[in-house]
Amino acid sequence: MPALNVHHLELFYYVARAGGITPALKLIPYGIQQPAVSSQVAQLEDAVGAKLFHRRPFSITPVGREVFEFIAPFFGGLPQLAKNVQGASGAQLRLAATAGVLRDYFPPLLRELEQRVPGLRLSLREATPAAAARLLREHQVDIAFALHERRHAEGLQFEPLVKLPMMLLVENDAPFSNAAAAVNEAAGGGLPLIAPPPGDELTDAFHAELRKRRRKWDVRIEAPVLDLVEAYVAQGFGAGLTVELPGHAIPRGLRALKLGGFPQLVYGMFTHGRVAAPAQMCMELARKFVRSL
């Protein structure tokens, strides 16, 4: 097999990271035209002896994924290397989580972290579990805080922090004494369900348990974040599917119905490969913070 051209590998890195040749042009840090990228990546495929990705629609092949995961730490780390060599960078930490977690849980943790690591440079990325896993594999973040979803966890290290029981939210004056009564009402089509869209770990686990019980309750209103579930229940649009979050108060005017016997979701920390000192300290503080809730 001929030697692989490093420049061709770099172009493929940007194509795989961006999800296509055209969007990659915005990431490549120097001027190059689409035909040149396409031609040079094709030469890389000839050298490798296998197709690295499908063009339309874009999807990376297993060989392409193997190549990308091998080269991503190098090319993804070049900007940081440049800053380190130039002496412009102190300790840095890059985190990914949902907006609610970043807003409600991270400030006290990060306040203590800044005391332990003076001059810390922090980058926060809002991300779903799927997006967080992708950011880790591309070495764009150091730690991702997310629900454990098997389909997104392959090749990543996961440390559980807390188990989250499922529950339903209803208005205070709703005629349900428990979750079973709400599920029975839903069977007759009289109670809309407000929940994250199908494909979300919470909604999928809820529906899987309902199928075991020979029940059905389709999502009527898809709310991508739990804050919206609460808001729409409060406005009288139906019952909301959510989880019991440590330290989180149920909004006024609503009450929670615990879903006994339903599986609990596992929330924790994802990493990929070696973890630097600031990230290790953040993980230590996260363990401590969860124990205090």
**Same domain as 233, residue 171:** yes
**Same domain as 248, residue 193:** yes
**Same domain as 248, residue 199:** yes
Q: Count CA atoms within 13 Å of residue 291 on its CB side.
A: 6
Total tally of structural domains belonging to the chain: 3
Q: Which of 40, 286, 266 is nearest to 152 (CA)?
A: 266
Residue 223 lies in a domain: yes
CATH number, domain of 133, equals 3.40.190.10
Q: What is the mean pLDDT of the chain?
A: 88
How many angstroms from the chain centroid is the CA of residue 83? 27
Confidence at residue 86, expressed as pLDDT on a 0 to 100 scale: 46
Q: What is the pLDDT of residues 147-168, one digit of tens each?
A: 888 777 788 899 999 999 999 9
Average pLDDT on 181-208 reads 89
Confidence at residue 67, expressed as pLDDT on a 0 to 100 scale: 92
**Beta-sheet pairing, 239-243 with 166-171:** antiparallel
Residue 102 lies in a domain: yes
Average pLDDT on 220-236 reads 93
Does the structure show a pLDDT above 80 at 4?
yes
Neighbouring C-beta atoms of residue 22, cutoff 10 Å = 13
Residue 187 lies in a domain: yes
Average pLDDT on 212-217 reads 92
Residue 56 lies in a domain: yes
**Same domain as 157, residue 270:** yes
Domain end: 46, 66, 85, which one?
85
**Same domain as 194, residue 78:** no
Q: What is the pLDDT of residues 33-83, one digit of tens each?
A: 889 899 999 999 999 999 999 988 899 999 999 999 999 988 887 776 665
Between 75-89, 215-229, 276-290, the lowest mean confidence (pLDDT) is in 75-89
Give 213: exposed, middle or buried? Use CB within 10 Å, 0-12, 13-18, 19+: exposed
**Same domain as 225, residue 207:** yes
Residue 54 lies in a domain: yes
Measured at the alpha carbon of residue 140, what is the angle toward residues 136 and 141, in degrees to the nearest 5? 65
The range of the structural domain enclosing residue 99 comes to 92-161+266-292
What tokens appear for 56 in the block?
A: 């339309």
Distance, CA of 264 to CA of 164 (rounded, Å): 5
271 bridge partner residues: 157
Confidence at residue 95, expressed as pLDDT on a 0 to 100 scale: 95
Residue 48 lies in a domain: yes
**Same domain as 241, residue 170:** yes
Residue 233 lies in a domain: yes
CATH number, domain of 49, equals 1.10.10.10
**Same domain as 273, residue 248:** no
Confidence at residue 89, expressed as pLDDT on a 0 to 100 scale: 47
Confidence at residue 232, expressed as pLDDT on a 0 to 100 scale: 97
Distance, CA of 52 to CA of 283 (rounded, Å): 35
**Same domain as 225, residue 111:** no
What tokens appear for 202 in the block?
A: 């919470």
Say if residues 138 and 96 touch (Cβ distance below 8 Å): no
Distance, CA of 129 to CA of 142 (rounded, Å): 14
160 bridge partner residues: 268
State the pLDDT confidence band at 196, using cuts at 50, 70 and 90: very high
Confidence at residue 13, expressed as pLDDT on a 0 to 100 scale: 92
How many angstroms from the chain centroid is the CA of residue 274? 19
**Same domain as 200, residue 244:** yes
**Same domain as 71, residue 186:** no
Between 113-122, 166-175, 233-242, the lowest mean confidence (pLDDT) is in 113-122
Q: What is the pLDDT of residues 230-284, one digit of tens each?
A: 999 999 999 999 999 888 889 999 999 999 999 999 999 999 888 888 899 999 9
Residue 1 lies in a domain: no
**Same domain as 148, residue 281:** yes
Confidence at residue 8, expressed as pLDDT on a 0 to 100 scale: 92
Distance, CA of 207 to CA of 175 (rounded, Å): 23
